[in-house]
Structure 1
Amino acid sequence: MTKELWINLPVKDVARSREFYKQIGFKLNPNHPENDQMAAFLVGEKEIGLMLFTEEQFKEFSNHEIPDPRNGTSTLFSFDAESPEEVDEIARKAKEAGGTIYGEPGEKDGWMYGAGFIDPDGHRWSILYMDMSKMPKG
């Protein structure tokens, strides 16, 4: 059975993207070497793998062309936060690190608080805090 999940993303500049993800709080994976072709992170308590590859290397792995994520969204990566304040903090860090906010932090449906940002390569991410005690029943 599957033991781990890795998210693989093509990026134009590995060094720039590595720095972006470090600045928003993702942890470098100590088991992977840092180089000009890739960067590896561990995300969240379950340490999901995030692998950043140059576009050329990503094309070799996927044997497929890479669409421009700025022209359409095929995947939205989402992760949780422990509080609305943490949502605000991550959104602020994403913007300061060179990302773009596409969804300002705010409340939704009375029980969720979230924000959305775009990384330097156009990949969209959402951060969401859910207050399960306020979630509508049934």
Structure 2
Amino acid sequence: MAQMIFVNLPVADLDRSIAFYEAIGARRNPQFSDDTAACMVFSDTIHVMILTHAKFGAFTPKAIADARATSEVLIALSTDSRSEVDAMVDAAASAGGSADPVPPQDHGFMYNRSFEDPDGHIWEPVWMDPAAVAGNEETQAA
């Protein structure tokens, strides 16, 4: 079985967050969702668990960070093209998020932008030229 990642994020409004993540391309897995949490699936190996603050608090003795005021994590998500990067950021902005809290970066072989979800969590969709990923130094130098 392939290794999987489950990113757990506290959210203030579960229904709003479900709608937001569906708008940027995730689908809700009802098997791992209830009125306190939702499992949002980006791929077979990437899942985001969005949890109410009460549910999230049950898993940690630490205070829940206010993602609008404190950087807790930056989540990079690969895409298949530059246009998918732009489409995801545009969809996030249209669904109640904020586009480009960090300036876009274009290195030729790699392109990324960012968005904040409604709770302030920063996501960075990124595209890398497949030749650069394979180690083609000529492409990396471009």
TM-score, normalised by the number of residues in structure 2: 0.84
Aligned length: 134
2:22 corresponding residue in structure 1: 22
Q: Percent identity?
A: 32
1:110 corresponding residue in structure 2: 108
- In the TM superposition, what is the alpha-carbon distance from 1:40 to its structure 2 partner? 0.8
Aligned residues of 2:65 and 2:72 also touching (Cα < 8 A) = no
Structure 2 residue matching 1:31: 3-state secondary structure = helix
Aligned residues of 2:109 and 2:140 also touching (Cα < 8 A) = yes
- In the TM superposition, what is the alpha-carbon distance from 1:107 to its structure 2 partner? 5.0
Higher mean Cα deviation, 111-120 or 58-67?
58-67
2:136 corresponding residue in structure 1: none
The answer for unaligned runs of 5 or more in structure 1 is: none
Find the aligned partners of 1:51 and 1:107 in 2 and give their Cα distance.
28
Find the aligned partners of 1:131 and 1:3 in 2 and give their Cα distance.
24
Q: Per-residue displacement from partner, 1:55-82 (whole Å, max 9, x unpaired)? A: 1111111122111111121210011111
Matches within 5 A, 1:1-138: 3-35=3-35, 37-44=36-43, 46-101=44-99, 102-103=101-102, 106-133=104-131, 134-136=139-141
Q: 1 or 2, which has the higher strand percentage?
A: 1
Structure 1 residue matching 2:31: 3-state secondary structure = coil
Find the aligned partners of 2:106 and 2:53 in 1 and give their Cα distance.
36
- In the TM superposition, what is the alpha-carbon distance from 1:32 to its structure 2 partner? 2.0
Find the aligned partners of 1:53 and 1:75 in 2 and give their Cα distance.
16
Higher mean Cα deviation, 56-65 or 25-34?
25-34
